[in-house]
Amino acid sequence: MIGELAALGAALCWTFSAVFYRRALASTPPIQANAVRCLGTSLILVAVLAFLGRINVFMKLPARTLLLACTSGVIGLGVGDTLYMFSLKTIGVSRAVPITCTYPLFNLVWAYLLAGEPITIPVAAGAITIVLGIWLLTSEKMDKATAKTLKGQNMRGVIFALSTAIAWSISISMINLAVRDAQSFLHAYAVNTVRLLAVAALLLVYSVVSVRRSAFLKVGWRNAALLLGGGTIAIGVGWFFLTFSFLLIPESQAVPISSTTPLFSTLAGVAFLHEKATAKIVLGSVLVVAGIFMVFMA
């Protein structure tokens, strides 16, 4: 039961963090926003370990675990989360989050291509359900003038969201392998911290040396606080919950539970961001989650 609750906790954390990000992204470039978020959150996680006097836990992690954690961080938090912020900025929480949460489907693709696992009828049915859900989320009816204006923007947002799902699926597979070497709650925390430190260092260097370094310095205290709050909830707590759940239950159980974020994000988008949640968006969110469960419970 603890493992299932941890995975559900991850879904809730990712829901609330999306609201923080969406507000900050209204006036902050996504790459700079991700750099501020990852750097601030990594410092908090390291400070907690230092406060507990357990900073030496990093020295006890095997080299293979460190490599997997760093690579997972760069792919998932660096590439994936930057694309995620672009999608949030472009098409909003209630549409972006359900599409990005198709990442479990891509995990199946890697299993089929790399391990030769068969695609059964329930799996195919789940995939069709997910596609239908995405179609409902991205086919909102509007007048011709508005549709012409937003068509390109919506398409870019969908591409960003789907690319995010692919990056996250790769990152999750790697972090699952890294956690297999973990022996305790503390080691799981350290693995999550290492993956964040790796991408924080990379994004910080990029932001400082890029031509947009002035934008990085002008994020503003309000936006920095929103990004730090969202990062602490999503990466510090949410990803730790998912990492910890891998110690207690199989990935095939933890991942679909954690992907229930769309149900909560639709409500959050309406309640906090005043986004319009139509019947299509609500039904699409439900179908995406239902399809994911069909795939993983097959």
CA 134 to the chain's CA centroid: 17
| pTM (2 d.p.) | 0.75
Q: Identify the top-confidence range among 19-23, 28-32, 84-88, 294-298.
A: 84-88
Which comes out higher in pLDDT, residue 50 or 127? Answer: 50
Alpha-carbon Rg of the chain, whole angstroms? 19
Residue 5 CB coordination number (10 Å) = 13
Kindly indicate the confidence band of residue 75, based on its pLDDT and cuts at 50, 70 and 90. very high
Query: Can you list the pairs that 104-107 forms with residues at least 24 positions away whose Cβ atoms lie under 8 Å?
Result: 104/169, 104/255, 104/256, 104/259, 104/292, 104/295, 104/296, 105/130, 105/165, 105/169, 105/291, 105/292, 105/295, 106/165, 106/166, 106/169, 106/170, 107/169, 107/172, 107/173, 107/251, 107/255
Give per-residue pLDDT as tens, 229-253: 988 998 888 888 988 888 887 776 7
In which element (H, E) is residue 68 found?
Answer: helix 63-72
